[in-house]
Chains A and B, each alone.
Chain A
Amino acid sequence: MKLIHRLEPLLWMIFGAGGYQLALLLPGLVLGVGLLGGLGFLPLEYERLHALASSAVGKPFLAGFLIGLFWHCCHHLRHLILDLGGERAAAPGAYFSYALAIVATAATVQVLVVL
């Protein structure tokens, strides 16, 4: 926990930056891909989206957005666990949350390297 406490300023900074990214982009992306794309109302063409996502701008953008999203959510989850579970849940909640963030970050990097 000492290391986590030492990293608190960095974690809160990522939480804040990730929060603004999410507020700006996530509703539109979920509406466009998850709902309108899933229902077939929005033409999500492979060639165009692949070119967009794998471009010199698209890859770093996706990396920043997804990694920011995961760390923001995991930091918030840590505090939800702390709020609901009390002091006893502090250390396990922190380890679980940040382990989840590290796994999600590694998965994101792997996916983007292959893209």
Chain B
Amino acid sequence: MSENASPTPVAPARPPSGFPLAHARYRNYVLFALTSVFMFVGGVGLLLGVRALGQGPEAWAQYLDALGHPAVLALSLAVFGFSVYFTLRWMWIGRKIMVGRVGPVPGPPIPMAGLGLGGIALCFATGIGVLLLLGGVL
């Protein structure tokens, strides 16, 4: 393109009518984006745990005590709920990415629903593995 060419004129972006609460699809979309806030908080909580591990057994015991506080348990429950919702939606959307179908490429050998459910089952199995690792079984 020549240096003097003017940029292509585009209309300014505007939100769809009724966004973000008018339709279930919009609400679902915003809720999915909101998972990032809770998962970030969960990440900070895990980072504090790693820091306590680095500071010694006493700091670790204090960290575990803090986790048992009712407000922290309520927050952990919210983070867990949002992370499960994220996992289900991410894997359900991700099945379309995993297929990666562009143009006249043959369809996937297994149904799309199978890919989504397979991904969710993989996450469930990994979650069990994480629990076994944390609990000292593995």
Contacts and interface: CB of A to CB of B under 8 A. Distances in A.
A28 B46 CA distance: 12
A38 B43 contact: no
Contacts of A66: 43, 46-47, 50
A35 B80 contact: yes
A16 B31 CA distance: 18
Q: How large is the interface on B (under 10, 10 to 19, 20 to 34, 35 or more residues)?
A: 35 or more
Interface in B36-67: 36-37, 39-40, 42-47, 49-51, 53-54, 57, 60-61, 64, 67
Interface residues of A, number: 56
Q: Is the interface of B mostly helix, strand, loop or mixed?
A: helix
Q: Shortest 9 CB-CB distances between A and B: which pairs?
A: A34-B76, A28-B130, A28-B127, A38-B67, A76-B36, A80-B33, A73-B40, A115-B54, A73-B36
Interface of A: 16, 19-20, 22-40, 42-46, 48-50, 52-54, 62, 66, 69-70, 72-74, 76-77, 79-80, 83-84, 86-87, 100, 104, 107-108, 111-112, 114-115
20 contacts: A26-B86, A30-B42, A32-B130, A34-B67, A34-B72, A34-B75, A34-B80, A35-B73, A35-B77, A39-B73, A42-B135, A45-B136, A46-B53, A54-B54, A66-B43, A76-B33, A79-B33, A83-B30, A86-B13, A114-B51
Interface of B: 12-15, 19-20, 29-30, 33-37, 39-40, 42-47, 49-51, 53-54, 57, 60-61, 64, 67-69, 72-73, 75-77, 79-80, 83-84, 86-87, 90-91, 94, 97, 119, 122-123, 126-131, 133-136
